[in-house]
Amino acid sequence: MTELLIINGERVSASDGGTFDVFDPSTGELLATVAKATKADVSRAVAAAHGAMASKTWGGLPPAERGRIMNRIAQAVRDRAEELATLESRDNGKPLRQARTDVQVAARYFEFFAGIADKIMGNTIPLGPGYLDFTVREPIGVSAQIVPWNYPIQIGARGVAPALAAGCAVVLKPSSEAPMTALRLGEIGLACGLPPGALNVIPGTGSEAGVALASHRSINQLTFTGSVDVGIGVAKMAADNVVPVVMELGGKSPNVVFADADLDLAAAGVANAIFQNAGQTCSAGSRLLIERNAHDAFVAKLVERATAMRVGPGVSDPDMGPIISKKQLETVERYVGVGAGEGAKVAAGGARPSDPGLGNGYYFQPTLLDRVTPDMRVAQEEIFGPVLAMIEFDDIEQAVEIANRSQYGLVSGIWTRYINKAMSLASRIKAGQVYINTYGAGGGVELPFGGYKKSGYGREKGLESLASYTQVKNVCIKY
């Protein structure tokens, strides 16, 4: 049975009847056959979204009622949590417990923004006697959202929820490598009362459906998460139609560990920051900056953790699941070879697992590259796999310089017992998020998220995200 597109409240085949196959990266086996959206399907979805914006059932719906629908979606996601988590694990390969967390975070996005739907307010501006001036925030219109394969349900909800709260209608294009939970999210939205066209889900390839959506003249806003190279192309397409874009792109985020830190706490945080989701995370802590006189002790702790991790199929709930595809697995493998060629030392991992039972999946060992220097390719380029580049530093000035010696600036972590040192470093690191003695805060639903430099622009999550889905109108009255 083919999974269908969701356009204007209906499940429909692609306009040309085309499909694509989705595979379980844990086993290489066929998971589903999915309708493949065409350029014509993209236009149908955008037209449906505009129809919803013009309708009384969505565009004319009181904000409080939008919030009630979104609360119902949040509860429905929780009610189907195990089903959705299992599907996410099979679709993406991540360990089941991580998929369960992603589902709960997705529910939390709808819950959080449901409470904001009737609180998107403007301001009055004092101009003196004889004038009344005020602003209103109106929905920006049709939001196009292009979602990656690494966190399909969580990143899908991250953009869809604030857009719906603001009163926008959404056309969501999930990755062709992991589209399943986005389709379920669309089905849940309809069952919970979203009117036809308010949320359309159109899985397809980036080269066809993605390009058609990003370049569509009738979208009003675009949210994109993906690589820098693709993001640049997407931004250019949107710019041709003067469409504003939120870009969340790559990262090479540093964890800076000082010798005075709680090294056991830091080791747990650093390991989770790189090996969670097999390192396939834009915000992964893929660089370790370790103070030289703590290097040996700290690396020993990381080696112990990395070598003890169990790698296996996501639904068996291992410590780490597979890479998403054969192509990405080969990319990770190639980067480890590049690092070794540059002079880095493989301290742990560095190869595919030897277990023959994993031979049909796309697995790679948790890998530590030691003796990395800041200008090596493995210290500068996003690998998007479970590979940690470990770099030594001597003092805080050198730590700042190395941390900022990157084209990226998404997240950073600082590990120290001294608050003055932590705050000094936090104020100087060029990154959109800085964590001290932790790395991440659950799903971070409330925390604005976005990057400096080539990590992108605009902010998702938290109240700041609403700026992307609303536009300000000023009204001035003379009396």
3-state secondary structure at position 246: strand
Q: Which helix (H) or strand (E) holds 245?
A: strand 245-248
Which residues sit opposite 134 in a β-bridge?
Answer: 124, 475
CA angle at 202 for the pair 143 and 444, rounded to the nearest 5°: 55
Question: How distant, in Å, are the alpha carbons of 7, 231, 439 from that of 435?
Answer: 40, 26, 5
Q: How many H-runs (helices) and E-runs (strands) does the chain carry?
A: 14, 23
**CB contact set of 400 (below 8 Å; sequence gap of 6+):** 425, 428, 429
**CB contact set of 178 (below 8 Å; sequence gap of 6+):** 22, 88, 91, 92, 149, 150, 152, 324
Show which residues are catalytic.
248, 282
**Concatenated DSSP letters of 89-135:** HHHH---HHHHHHHHHHHHHHHHHHHTTTT-----EE---TTEEEEE
Please give the structure tokens belonging to residue 278. Answer: 């097999």
Q: What's the CA gap between 144 and 153, in Å, rounded?
A: 16
Q: Which helix (H) or strand (E) holds 472?
A: strand 470-478
